[in-house]
Amino acid sequence: MNDQELFDTMCETLYSAVISDTLDQLGYRNQVMRENINPIDPSWVVAGRAKTVLSVDIHHLPEDPYAKEIEAVDSVKPGEIVIGCTNESRQNGLWGELLSTASKMRGGRGAIVDGLIRDTAKILELGFPVFATGTKPVDSQGRGIVIDYDIPVLCGGVLVHPGDIIFGDRDGVVVIPGAVLDEVFVLATDKATRENHTRDELLAGFTLRQVYDKYGVL
């Protein structure tokens, strides 16, 4: 299946916990972003390839404050999720309605920001999944500036490379290294199926020991 089909299937059938468990099984044990990065709509589930963007705090008004930011967003490709690394800034509102709109129209699937965002009502209306640590109605101008993109960034405590696969839901954000995507998808799908059988049999009255011995998931 192509990326679009794969990401849609992941959103429909998988969830962050089963992906995290699968990565643990494969020896990738630091792939979940910090717990304070959450979707502004808890119902949102998103999957796509990482489009990394790096910003830093500043304390002056540069001549062209949005140059690199505009360049980065205009280069978003279909199937990508913007990974906005702000180094956990508390002063810079990196993301908002217009960047969300521009990204969506380029085919982007969402944005994950390890900092603050604004315009959440408009983003909700747009239906563009955005995850962040919080909100603050400040412009980035004079507070933060994008200095590079399409480079490895540390976002939410996880090193994210361009093209890594991002999966986010109400429980958190997981980063799947691109080299193991196919294996993770197969193993996570199998585990999710076994968990569904486990749930059904628990609801039918079987004990946890009985179903664990049968399906091996918990």
pLDDT in tens, 1-39: 899 999 999 999 999 999 999 999 999 999 999 999 999
The reply to whether 205 sits in an annotated binding site is: no
- What are the residue boundaries of the structural domains of the chain, listed by start? 3-176, 185-215
The reply to whether 98 sits in an annotated binding site is: yes
Buried b (16+ CB within 10 A) or exposed e, 95-118: bbbebbbebbebebbbbbbbbbbb
Q: CATH for 3-176?
A: 3.50.30.40
pLDDT tens, residue by residue, 169-218: 999 999 999 999 999 999 999 999 998 888 989 999 989 899 889 888 87
Residues 6+ apart with CB under 8 A from 208: 202, 218
The reply to whether 119 sits in an annotated binding site is: yes
**What is the residue type of 35?**
E
How high is the pLDDT of residue 119? 98
Place of tokens 């412009």: 139
How high is the pLDDT of residue 69? 98
The reply to whether 97 sits in an annotated binding site is: yes
- Is 56 a residue whose pLDDT tops 90? yes
pLDDT tens, residue by residue, 111-155: 999 999 999 999 999 999 999 999 999 999 999 999 999 999 999
